[in-house]
Amino acid sequence: MSLYSKRGVSAQKEEVHAATKNLDKGLYPNAFCKIYPDVLCSDENWVNVMHADGAGTKSILAYLYWKETGDVSVWKGIAQDAIVMNLDDLLCVGIYDQLLFSSTIDRNKNVIPAEVLEAVINGTQEFFTTMKGFGVNITFMGGETADVGDVVRSIAVNGTMAARWPKNKLVTNEKIQAGDVIVGLAGFGQANYETEYNSGLASNGLTSARHDVLHKTYGARFPESFDTSLDESVVYIGPHRMTDEVKDGDRVHQVGKLLLSPTRTFAPVMKALLENHFDAIHGLIHCSGGGQTKCLKYIPENVRIVKDNLFTPPIIFNIIQAASKSDDREMYQVFNMGTRLEIYTNEKDAEAIISVSKSFGVDAQVIGRVEAADKKSLIIRNAGMTIEY
């Protein structure tokens, strides 16, 4: 059994998928989000989409960093995580504007004071203001903030995003075909709409990252930060403190800041691409839960995905792998490894897409291709290794 499983989590969420397998798949089964007919206005040319997600256990990392340093501003990043894990999923069906967002915050009042709530709520509005400057309009509809200390040990920050969208402007992944190339957008670096370096970690695999990277003393000092029924052998078994510094070329990073880099949104990039290159986009995959294997859930049955030019993983993934001693197979199955958004397109359109992305300071390159196959599969080749899923 992997460390991930011993901690009560699953990269692939097999039991969740089994529990929901009989639910209606919506109008387009391969689409990244479930899409339904327009029940709001009963217009057959429009659809409704609603999506729910959150920052996950990344909020616990924010809690540890805040307790250790007193820096309450890290909670603004958690607000962004909860938004972007919804927003960038919706981008993958072609939706980039006129969105509604409702926040859900559950806290244990004994450990999470008002100043933390204020930072999360203000961080939410600040992110929407930034996005409005790029023509991505998101209306903050409020939400629910509940004191439920019997349910949560510290805080859970989640949200729901909804939109009404024209059917002829959807991306449903049905056009993905043999001969396509895959343009990958980097989740790391510093986009021109970001204020500091982004590690690229996003908001998936954080249970593993937290326990494998951080030192045993965190469990003793902050027992409210983990499930105390877990075996001690999987709780905070890493070498690092939050404030440790690591050298990355000419940069020096704090481990805690690398772990807490707010999930990058690709909304400004995708708005430009969807408005000006819509017909060139055959499919979109957000490499979130399931990491580089996420595509297997949404591609057609008769193709093989070959990724043989992924970005070199940035330093945070090297830190996690060294601390956890995970093999490459597990790392690419849990984490995005630096390549977080996939655009499936014609070879002739790839360069134009890459150019648009780079104009926003987001690195992009052709990371692989789509081949004909009897059944869908994935091959990852990188730095001399080959992994098949």
Q: What are the pLDDT digits (tens) for 180-210?
A: 999 999 999 999 999 999 999 999 999 999 9
Task: Give tens-digit pLDDT for 280-303.
Answer: 999 999 999 999 999 999 999 999
- Residue 114 burial (C-beta neighbours within 10 Å; 0-12, 13-18, 19+): exposed
- Residue 298 burial (C-beta neighbours within 10 Å; 0-12, 13-18, 19+): buried
Q: Given a cut of 60, is residue 327 above it in pLDDT? A: yes
87-100 mean pLDDT: 98
pLDDT of residue 359: 98
Q: Strands 245-248 and 385-388, how do they pair?
A: unpaired
pLDDT of residue 383: 82
Q: Given a cut of 90, is residue 14 above it in pLDDT? A: no
> What is the Cα–Cα distance from 247 to 253, expressed in whole angstroms?
6
pLDDT of residue 1: 55
Answer for the pair 372, 176: CB distance below 8 angstroms, yes or no.
Answer: no
Place of tokens 């993905």: 176
Whole-structure pTM value: 0.94
Q: What are phi and psi of 145, to 5 degrees?
A: -120, 115
Q: What are phi and psi of 16, to 5 degrees?
A: -65, -45
pLDDT of residue 384: 86
Task: Give tens-digit pLDDT for 112-157.
Answer: 999 999 999 999 999 999 999 999 999 999 999 999 999 999 999 9
Q: Number of helices (H) and strands (E) in the chain: give both, helices first.
A: 12, 14
Give CATH for domain 3-197+260-388: 3.30.1330.10
60-84 mean pLDDT: 98
Helix, strand, coil distribution of the chain in percent, nearest 5: 35, 25, 40
Question: Which residues fall within 8 angstroms of residue 224, CB to CB, at 6 or more apart?
Answer: 108, 111, 153, 154
pLDDT of residue 284: 98
Task: Give tens-digit pLDDT for 141-153.
Answer: 999 999 999 999 9
Single-letter residue type at 128:
F
Residue 338: strand, helix, or coil: coil
Residue 3: which pLDDT band, with cuts at 50, 70 and 90? low
DSSP 230-285: S-GGGSS--SB-TT-EEEETTEEEEHHHHHHPPPPP-HHHHHHHHHHSGGGEEEEE
pLDDT of residue 380: 98
Average pLDDT, the chain: 95
Residue 85: strand, helix, or coil: helix
Within 92-135, residue ranges assigned H as helices are 114-132
Answer for the pair 136, 91: CB distance below 8 angstroms, yes or no.
Answer: no
For the chain, which residues make up each domain, given as ranges?
Answer: 3-197+260-388
236-250 mean pLDDT: 96
